[in-house]
Amino acid sequence: MTVRLLDTLTGEQRDLVPLEPGHVRVYSCGPTVYGPAHIGNFRSFLFADLLVRHLRYRGYRVTWVMNITDIDDKIIRGAAASGEGIDELAERWTARFLDDARTLRMTTPDVLPRATRHIPEIVALVSTLLEKGHAYRTDDGSIFFRIASWPAYGQLARLDPTQLRVGERVEADEYAKDDVRDFAIWKGPKPGEPSWETAIGAGRPGWHIECSAMSMKHLGESFDVHTGGVDLIFPHHEDEIAQSEAATGHEFVRTWLHCAHLQMGGEKMAKSTGNIARVEEVLAQGVSARALRYALLAVHYRAPLTYSDESLAAATAAIERLDAALLALAGYREDRSDDPTLPEALEAARTAFGAALDDDLNVSPALAALFDLVRVVNRRIDARAMSTADAARAASVINELDAVLGIGPDGTSESLEPALQAMLDARASAREARDWAASDRLRDELAAAGIVVEDSRDGQRWRRAERVPDG
């Protein structure tokens, strides 16, 4: 079992070999918090969630960082329009984003760093770029990255270097995608705009630099996987590579993954065109959050996904099939010998499911493996061909696979790394045996691994500890 991922930069499918053995470090470009995210944004976040869940299922320790852009032109304009401070506005929309993310059962990233809480790191990175001659100042106190100083510029987006128009400057974050120019890494102070007094002068960070500074702070100068939507390839990720590698002198990211657009009514879902649907609006139509999650995950991340009433209806039907099977299994009692063919069927489903996701998160055959298993199990339920214990075994495998997908009826389902699950199981046994010393020791060991265990009347519950308090 090796996870293989298609890297946008090289165009090659490569084996995932973590830079630090057993530990995969993942960075995802997160939301700009000036309004509610739309479900096209969530498609991109949920594919990263699927990646993280699958890697944990495969036994990797994963550190997942997703930034919150809490300072940019749109936030400044939004705050001016609503009469709020930018912090207040960003706070409000960050809370909304996290609400929507929880509703869609997105795993909470281990770190949710905010740009305004990382000014020192950003300033340090800009200083290095200035010292190394990759950046220059302009009269208004802004600092630009000099694309001419970085010959590799354009590789990710496969731009023709002779087509690059170098040296032009823009002051806004919002420039047309087909324009290639020196870009602002630090914006000089302007009346009415927030600004920080720093060693490189007064001003505020540009958008691209925040992702370089925060990913390298929380994951190291080189890390394994960087995700985002295809619209971020250029210029955002191209700029991230240039400024990070120019500053450190080594490879920034091993594997780049980009999620295709969500389409609705034949057009790409985008805030700029107003062709959008938001989580709240979809749920108000009576669609369940699980069906919406399923609809956003059910197509391979690199393929455009059409969002429609039909795709939601198909998602709803799939969820109902899954629920019905789990309900039937939970109530199934049959006093007979075990079905000798069941273990093989369960193992085949598990193998097919894992192999599909190992293959660049190929979700369609993974879903097919899960629903084939549901069919296999339903046939045995109808024929009363399993024992009571068989039914429990089948339910346990369905739940195991669903913990990677997060579409099942158990809202708290999330995959725990197998080694940690084993410790959790051992602790449950220790408690049953009233071996409190062993139970406490295992709780401490789990805590050291970032898993908080709480005991309730229904047994133990676990959650991932929040790691960095600056989020």
Residues at the site binding Zn ion, with contacts judged by CB under 5 A: 29, 211
Closest to Zn ion by CB, 210 vs 417, is 210
How near is the Cβ of 445 to Zn ion at its closest, in Å?
35
Closest to Zn ion by CB, 214 vs 381, is 214
CA–CA dist 307, 295 (Å, integer): 8
Closest to Zn ion by CB, 69 vs 439, is 69
How near is the Cβ of 241 to Zn ion at its closest, in Å?
11
Under 8 Å between Cβ of 261 and 296: no
| Residue 131 phi, psi dihedral angles, 5° rounding | -60, -35
Closest to Zn ion by CB, 29 vs 90, is 29
Closest to Zn ion by CB, 62 vs 211, is 211
How near is the Cβ of 239 to Zn ion at its closest, in Å?
9
How near is the Cβ of 34 to Zn ion at its closest, in Å?
15
Closest to Zn ion by CB, 180 vs 211, is 211
| Residue 51 phi, psi dihedral angles, 5° rounding | -60, -50
How near is the Cβ of 330 to Zn ion at its closest, in Å?
43
Closest to Zn ion by CB, 246 vs 404, is 246
Distance, CA of 258 to chain centre: 11
Angle at which helices 39-57 and 388-405 cross, to 10°: 130
How near is the Cβ of 118 to Zn ion at its closest, in Å?
13
Q: Which of 113, 6, 99, 96 is nearest to 51 (CA)?
A: 6
How near is the Cβ of 222 to Zn ion at its closest, in Å?
17
How near is the Cβ of 42 to Zn ion at its closest, in Å?
16
Closest to Zn ion by CB, 119 vs 277, is 119
Q: At CA 72, angle to CA 66 and CA 73, rounded to 5? A: 150
- Cα 430 to Cα 14, 231, 423, 442: the distances in Å are 42, 51, 10, 9
Under 8 Å between Cβ of 201 and 188: yes
CA–CA dist 212, 94 (Å, integer): 21
Closest to Zn ion by CB, 29 vs 405, is 29
Closest to Zn ion by CB, 211 vs 298, is 211
How near is the Cβ of 236 to Zn ion at its closest, in Å?
6
How near is the Cβ of 94 to Zn ion at its closest, in Å?
16
